[in-house]
Amino acid sequence: KTIDSLGDLAGKRVLVRADLNVPLDGATITDDGRIRASLPTINTLREKGARVIVTAHLGRPKGAPDPKFSLKPAVDRLSELLEAPVAFATDTVGESAKETVENLKDGEVAVLENVRFNAGETSKDQAEREAFAKELAALADAFVSDGFGVVHRKQASVYDVAKLLPAAAGSLVEKEVASLRKVTDEPARPFVVILGGSKVSDKLGVIDNLLGKADRLLIGGGMSYTFQKALGHEVGKSLLEEDQVETVKGYLKRAEESGVEIVLPVDNVVSENFGPDGPADVVPSNEIPAEKEGLDIGPKTRELFASKLGDAGTVFWNGPMGVFEFELYAEGTKAIAEALAQCSGYTVVGGGDSASAIRNLGFDEARYSHISTGGGASLELIEGKELPGIAILEEK
């Protein structure tokens, strides 16, 4: 169900679950991609004369107010981008929220303070979640689910509230689901997946599911060292998930049996000092010295990975190739971003970090078919898991 299915919204209070969980350096937003992505739905609702009430989270506060996690910086940025004032309630369902909503006029926007300041939001106890969802629902006449990055969470403002109000998917959720389903349902081949980032254990389900679907799996970043270890290579002080080594061995075997090509780094940029200043050397991936750690893929790997992307019909990329926040270790991630930009196939960048890397390293977003706002959510969709925030809209 889309926003149009909600009928005439003039004068109606519409609660929008957005994902405004942006990276912050102090109070400075370092990537406002998610705020920008929330604009189309908010603007559509304003044009329809709705009174727009945005609810969202920032970080993972512990169910109580914590100024470190205030949505204030995101609200200021939203107001700049909308070129309109945005009212800000200093609580989520309390006096401030009620008063703010009451004062809203048609076409105006308000944001409620971090929804995770309320224990009911993330509670595992369904009754507690539902009680909080009721308070949220009482503020509005209709609900629009537009926080794609959070649709994999069974939380009050994502899931339970959708049961209590006429509900629809916002245009971001619609676009994300359609774009990611192009990857999971009959992808144009060869279908190449690039996985990076630090944790193999976060991506086990994806690897498992992709072994039956992808033609090639390129593994870089922090998780690649666990793969090297599974091949019997020493990885020095590199990131290693020792307890995943056996599972990874199983994946390597299954990949071989099913004809899926797994491509691993052949060289790495390594250092004894984690930090922006190095010194850094390049060594073969099977000869990382005991006192050093791998912090990026090396130049031969950059070429190898790029060569594996040239003929791709579909590419899904999640996770940086190295510590791209330090210039010295950004080359691997840059090389993948460039190779993907040049690829004529359908290219999807999934995940908060990879999407931020694209923007912060200065690549033009228009060179990719789709840049997802979801980290965990896009991975779970690719894994083939049911996403509670989407399932509840389909059920209704």
Active site residues: 34, 199, 352, 376
Distance CA 39, CA 204 (A): 33
Three-class DSSP category at 296: strand
Binding stretches for ligand 3PG (CB under 6 A): 19, 21, 60, 149-150, 153, 352, 375-376
| Residue of minimal Cβ distance to ligand 3PG | 21
In the bound state with ligand 3PG, the residue whose beta carbon lies nearer, of 31 and 241, is 31
In the bound state with ligand 3PG, the residue whose beta carbon lies nearer, of 149 and 265, is 149
Gap between the terminal Cα atoms of the chain: 9
Q: At which residue do the structure tokens 């008063």 appear?
A: 99
- Shortest approach of ligand 3PG to residue 259 CB, angstroms? 33
Distance CA 224, CA 202 (A): 13
- Shortest approach of ligand 3PG to residue 284 CB, angstroms? 35
- Shortest approach of ligand 3PG to residue 356 CB, angstroms? 11
- Shortest approach of ligand 3PG to residue 293 CB, angstroms? 26
Query: According to the annotation, is 354 in a ligand binding site?
Result: yes
Distance CA 76, CA 101 (A): 18
Residue pair 343/316 in contact (Cβ under 8 Å)? The answer is: no
Query: According to the annotation, is 310 in a ligand binding site?
Result: no
Query: According to the annotation, is 153 in a ligand binding site?
Result: yes
Residue pair 2/174 in contact (Cβ under 8 Å)? The answer is: yes
Give the rounded distance of the alpha carbon of 206 from its chain centre: 14
Query: According to the annotation, is 189 in a ligand binding site?
Result: no
In the bound state with ligand 3PG, the residue whose beta carbon lies nearer, of 197 and 375, is 375
Query: According to the annotation, is 58 in a ligand binding site?
Result: yes
Pairing of strands 28-29, 24-25: antiparallel
Query: According to the annotation, is 294 in a ligand binding site?
Result: yes
- Shortest approach of ligand 3PG to residue 353 CB, angstroms? 10
Distance CA 251, CA 319 (A): 19
In the bound state with ligand 3PG, the residue whose beta carbon lies nearer, of 23 and 384, is 23
Candidates 389, 339, 395, 386; CA nearest to 159 is 389
Distance CA 113, CA 195 (A): 34
In the bound state with ligand 3PG, the residue whose beta carbon lies nearer, of 3 and 20, is 20
Binding residues for substrate: 19-21, 34, 57-60, 116, 153
